[in-house]
Every structure is written in C-alpha cells, then in structure tokens.
Structure 1
Amino acid sequence: MMKNLGLAGAMIAIAGTGAAHAACDDYETVVSAWLPIMQTTAYYVAHEEGLFEKNCIKVESNKMQSPNHIIDALVSGRADFGPPGAAAGIAMLAEAKFPGTFKVFGLQGGGIEVDLINDALIVKSGSDIKSFADLSGKTLGHVPGIQWRTISRHLVRAAGLDPDSDVQLIDLAVPQQVPAVMGGSVDATLSLEPVGSIAAATDGVDRAMVNPVAAVIADPFYSGAAVLTTKFIEERPEVARKIVEIIDEATLLANADFEKYKAIIPKYTAIREEQLDLLAKPYLRPWSELNETDLDSYQAFVDVFHTEGVLKEPMDVRTKILKPTDFGES
C-alpha cells in the first residue's frame, strides 16, 4: 500500500501543477470544519497561497471550538472534510460508532526522534512536579474532550498512579491553561503546542516535560489527522481528490519553509505576532508520504482507546487510511 501512496504523490505533483493554471468557469463548493491550532498550518497555507481557488474550489470554512465539534459536523453531513488538526482519536471513535464514515489522508503531531514538539507537561515555577509520577494528590488540566481525557488517563496510569483516585483530571480550554497553572487552580496541565512553548518563555510557569505522550504511547505521536467523509468521496470523487492534492501541496510547502509561513498563524489562531518566535514547528505528514512508521504510531494511539475501555473492540487503522482505489482508481 505504501508503494501505491508514493505513486499517488507523483500524480499529485503533476495534477497540482496543471490545475494551478486552470481558468475556472464554475467553482465546486466544499465545506470544511477546522480547529485553530498549529497542526492546522497546512490549511492556512492552502488559503494564503490560493490553492483552493487555483483548483476551482470555493471553501466554506467553519472554525470550531473543540475537536468534538469537527467530528460532529462531519458525521452529521454538515462538513465534507476536516483539514489537518482534526482529532485523530475522536475520528476513530466516531468511525467505530458509525462505520464507513471517514478516510484519513494525513497525520499531524510531533516526536522525540524528529525533535518536533507536540505536547508538554506545564507546571508552576518552583513546583516539585517533574513528571506524571509526581501528580499523586494533584490536579491535571487537559484539552477538553474524550481524546485528551483518555491520553491523560493513560499517561497517569503508565506513571504508576490510578487516574480515578490519585489524580483529578480537569477539562481546561487551551487559552485558560497557562493562567490556571499560574493562578494555582490546577497543579499542572498536559498542553498542546503552542501552549508549551509560550509557557517556557513566561515567567511563573515552566515546561516540566516535552513530548511526554510520544515517550509513552508512540514516537512520533499524532494527535491530529486530516479526514474526508466517505459520502464526499463517493458523491464527488474528483473534487475530493483535489482537496487531498491541495492539502498535500500545502503540507509540503509548510514543511519546506515553516519560518516563512508561521507569519500567517496569527491570522487564523489566537497566537499574537509578538509570540511568533516561540512557535515550535509541527510534524506534518502528507498523504503521499505516509509510511509504516506513521501507521504504526497511529495504531498505537488508537489502541490506547481500547486499553482504556473507550473502544469496545480493537480497530485496524490501516483500513481507515485513504487509498487511490477510494477514488475509483485501479
């Protein structure tokens, strides 16, 4: 399968080059649901470079407030695709409940070996909390929703503690995480980028651990995914394929010159211009480059939901990855 994806990448490069010069008599409307986080960078690049318009596509872009809202919009048919940054775990939970809903065409996160940050354990300066093992009797904030609640429980358990009795887990919106640690309403947070990098540069809070999730679950670790609905693929396969080509092209652009493209981040997220130097480059994997390491990592993450009792049955993520044959290609 990986060989087929490589061939698809070559096709994407060729198709993208030709489409960039196409004159559009009509535009196809496609609806997206996205989250304003670093993992969504390729989507921002696609807009800034006009890649949708060059491919005769008009995007109705819906910014969501939580990962759950993205998946709800896709399941209900209110959106056609979730750009990079959609919740990789929640997508598979929804797939288990509504089989045949999604195809994944990209992964986003970070890792220890690749030296790219995805998450961190944030504590107050001077805290005696150095790792998850130090959280006994403490409170731990995390991104709201079942995905990060499950990850947090797993990391607490892996540290030898009971997530039901030793640690109090608290849903905490991303903008509230650093202030909550500074103010003492929580003892620590498990935070996604760019919260960790901002905390490391802020007086009063520290980054106790970098990439703790990759250290426990899989390295690299992917908490984000780009997804298409199968309804969209089946009803408009050529348009769906263009979306994949566009996001792949934008992902490669972002990877090649993140320093250039990070300047657009404040336009789409809560990051301020004066914070740009703090941003850590995300690990963005396009469909055309997904390999066995990526899929093994994704599998390890989804397995955690089964281990923690959230998924009743194991799930093979390889059956959920987009293939050229999904577009009717041989």
Structure 2
Amino acid sequence: MKKLLLLLLPFFLLPDCAAAEKIRIGYPSAGSLISGQIGAILERTDILERNGLEGEVTPFLYGPPMQEALLAGHIDVALTSEANFVNLAAKFPCKMIATLGSAGRIAIMVRNDSPIKSVADLRGKTLATVFGTSAHYPAVQWLLKAGLDPAKDVKLLHMAAAEGRAALIKGDIDAITMWDPFVEDFIQKKAARVLQHNPSFWTTTVASEEFLKNKPDTVVNFLLALHEASLFLALNKELANGWLSKTMNVSPAVIDKGSSYNSNYARAKKLKDISIVPGKELLERLKQIANFNLASGLLKEKSPVKEKTDLSFAKAAAKKANEFKSGPATVRIKDK
C-alpha cells in the first residue's frame, strides 16, 4: 500500500492520453547533501510520474561510479557536484542544465586537541583531500592565501573521503578538507574543528547531449519535477533527511544543519521560491575549477565548462513552474 501525503504543491500532470517518457537518473546516496535528498524523493515518491515521466532512479554511494554510468550511457542525468561536472565536461558530450543550489560547506578541519590554530600553522604538516573533487580546489586556494606553497610547505595527500576522516581521528594526518554533512558531524561529535570554510559548494545537474537532443520536452518535464521535489524537501525536511540518514550514516539533525546553507531548503514555502537556474557565482566557480584542474595536471586540456552549460531548459521549466498556482495535491510515497 502506498502512503499519501497532502501538500500544497501544484499539479504538473500531462493529459491522460500522453505516454510517460522514460528517464534514467543517478544520484549520490551517501556522499552529498541536497542531491542526496532530492534523489531519494524522486525514488520514493510519485513526483516523476506526476510530471509525465517513467523514472529509473539509481542511487550511487560515490561520485566516480555515477560518472562512469553517465559515460557508459546507463543513465541520462546525474545529480552531482561542481567539480564532477568540470571533469565530465572534459571527456564526455554532456551539459550542465540546472543546479539544486548549495550542498553545504567545504572546510579544512583539525582535531579538537590539535595545536594548529590557523591555516598558516599547517606549514610542515599533512593535509588530506580528495584530488579532483570540490574539496581539492579550495584547499589549495586557502593554503596559497595563507602564504604557503602547497607543493613545498605542506604535504598534500590524496585520500578517499572515508579514509581521510578515519586518518584524522587516529592522528595519522594533521588536517583534512571535507564537506557537509561530515563537517557538521565532526563539529557535533566534538571530534574536529574548522580552520577555514567556504559557506557553499554547488550541486550541478548534468545530462548527456544525446538525451538533450532526442528528448528536449522530457528534460523540461524532469526539471519541473526537480522544482516540485525541491519544494517537497523544503516542506518535509524531517522525512527526507531521515531517508538520507540511513545511507549516509549520520543523524537527520546533522543533515538538516548542513542542508541549511541551501536557499531552497532554508526558505522555500511555495513553488515560485524554488530556483534551479545556475547563476553567476556557480558559473565563475566552474571556470576557476577548470583552470585549476588544467594547471595542476588533473586534466590534459581545459574543460569547456562554458560551452557545455545550457540554461535554456532550466529557464523554460522555471517559466512553466511560475504559470502554475499552488493548490492541494497528493504526493504518494512508495513502499520501500
């Protein structure tokens, strides 16, 4: 039996005669906020069906397998991060078509009992990050800003996220660059403290160019579903955070705090409050990461992020969304 949830949401239903269009979606179920909750909502509710879509929603524990699935043509759309889009755009015919906004903080953290008080104090110390991710670029920028040469003054190590967190707790490394909800998890457990943080790193919604070319109307309907799922999240934080908590192994309260940096999550009350159109800040961040990845040798050629950004679908979806007036609508929650 399916559960029903009465919400103040608009209907985006297509006429009864319209056949549902298929779409395959990947999302991070254990590595990222906002994309994680939205993916779970699409998987566990009938929001896709309400928008005329037959969705195949696949959770991925980590970013690389999801990128590989997009490269292999196993999914059409990936809910991912800013850095992952930069890497994908360098080697695959895809485009960024939307953003779900901020996924929380990126931060350099040290153990609570560490004598290190500032980024400048990392001279001669070991800092772990995940090369090529959204945590890599800001880590290097903070070191440079503190007057440190990342290649000489600090031992910068590549470590998988979970490995790095464990190494910090054991004292095997001096500092780590990580993202929410793990930043907040360490803070609440009093296991580590923040030296420097960026209040926002960005999500990106990336689709294969083949899918965009062959099914443009389906893409717009999918982005309408993202509007609705984003509002569902804003109005049902406890429910959606509880779903994500089971795969991220952190508490719903930690997820809530990390997600609070997202403007849709924090402030949306109506559909018109939702924004998924990428803005200047994200577009500039993508350019910076692309330049950094080329200069650091992570990519052999500069990623064409500008050329592979298409805002037309998100703008079309936003226009349609604003044409609807909110009214009572029943969202069905599927049994899991």
Q: Give the Å deviation of 1:246.
A: 0.9
Identity %: 20
Aligned to 1:38: 33
Number of residue pairs aligned between Structure 1 and Structure 2: 297
**Tell me, what secondary structure is at the counterpart of 2:167?**
helix
**Tell me, what secondary structure is at the counterpart of 1:319?**
coil
Aligned to 1:319: 307
Structure 2 segments unaligned to the other structure (5+ residues): 1-8, 265-273, 318-336
The structure-2 alpha-carbon separation of the partners of 1:275 and 1:17, relative to structure 1 and needing over 3 Å to count, comes to closer
Query: In the alignment, is the contact (CA less than 8 A) between 2:168 and 2:176 conserved in 1?
Result: yes
**Tell me, what secondary structure is at the counterpart of 2:126?**
strand
Higher relative contact order (CA 8 A, sep 6+): 2
Q: Give the Å deviation of 1:91.
A: 1.8
Aligned to 2:161: 174
Aligned to 1:101: 94
CA distance in 2, matches of 1:144, 1:313: 17
Relative to the length of structure 1, the TM-score reads: 0.74
The structure-2 alpha-carbon separation of the partners of 1:53 and 1:269, relative to structure 1 and needing over 3 Å to count, comes to farther
CA distance in 1, matches of 2:17, 2:186: 46
The one-letter amino acid of 2:53's match is: I
- Pick from 49, 52, 59 the counterpart of residue 55 of structure 2: 59
The structure-2 alpha-carbon separation of the partners of 1:292 and 1:125, relative to structure 1 and needing over 3 Å to count, comes to closer
Aligned to 1:69: 65
CA distance in 2, matches of 1:293, 1:276: 24
Q: Give the Å deviation of 1:327.
A: 11
Aligned to 1:305: 293
1:28 aligned to 2:21?
yes
CA distance in 1, matches of 2:62, 2:141: 21
CA distance in 2, matches of 1:178, 1:24: 52
CA distance in 2, matches of 1:328, 1:108: 18
Q: Give the Å deviation of 1:78.
A: 1.7
Query: In the alignment, is the contact (CA less than 8 A) between 2:60 and 2:66 conserved in 1?
Result: yes
Aligned to 1:217: none
Aligned to 1:232: 211
Relative to the length of structure 2, the TM-score reads: 0.73
The structure-2 alpha-carbon separation of the partners of 1:91 and 1:57, relative to structure 1 and needing over 3 Å to count, comes to same
The structure-2 alpha-carbon separation of the partners of 1:93 and 1:193, relative to structure 1 and needing over 3 Å to count, comes to same
Q: Give the Å deviation of 1:21.
A: 7.2
The one-letter amino acid of 2:87's match is: L
1:82 aligned to 2:78?
yes
Q: Give the Å deviation of 1:90.
A: 2.9
**Per-residue CA distance 1:252-309 (angstroms, 9 max, x = gap):** 4434664564333224433245755654424267665433344334434434334545
Q: Give the Å deviation of 1:107.
A: 4.8
Query: In the alignment, is the contact (CA less than 8 A) between 2:112 and 2:192 conserved in 1?
Result: yes
Query: In the alignment, is the contact (CA less than 8 A) between 1:244 and 1:287 conserved in 2?
Result: no
**Tell me, what secondary structure is at the counterpart of 1:247?**
helix
The one-letter amino acid of 1:102's match is: K
The structure-2 alpha-carbon separation of the partners of 1:258 and 1:55, relative to structure 1 and needing over 3 Å to count, comes to same
Query: In the alignment, is the contact (CA less than 8 A) between 1:306 and 1:314 conserved in 2?
Result: yes
CA distance in 2, matches of 1:123, 1:23: 57
**Tell me, what secondary structure is at the counterpart of 2:73?**
coil
Structure 1 segments unaligned to the other structure (5+ residues): 1-15, 111-116, 215-219
* Deviation larger for 201-210 or 260-269: 260-269
CA distance in 2, matches of 1:280, 1:274: 10
Aligned to 2:283: 295
**Tell me, what secondary structure is at the counterpart of 1:265?**
helix
The structure-2 alpha-carbon separation of the partners of 1:146 and 1:267, relative to structure 1 and needing over 3 Å to count, comes to closer
Higher helix share: 1
CA distance in 2, matches of 1:179, 1:169: 17
The one-letter amino acid of 2:101's match is: Q
1:92 aligned to 2:92?
no
Query: In the alignment, is the contact (CA less than 8 A) between 1:201 and 1:278 conserved in 2?
Result: no
Q: Give the Å deviation of 1:106.
A: 1.1
**Tell me, what secondary structure is at the counterpart of 1:38?**
coil
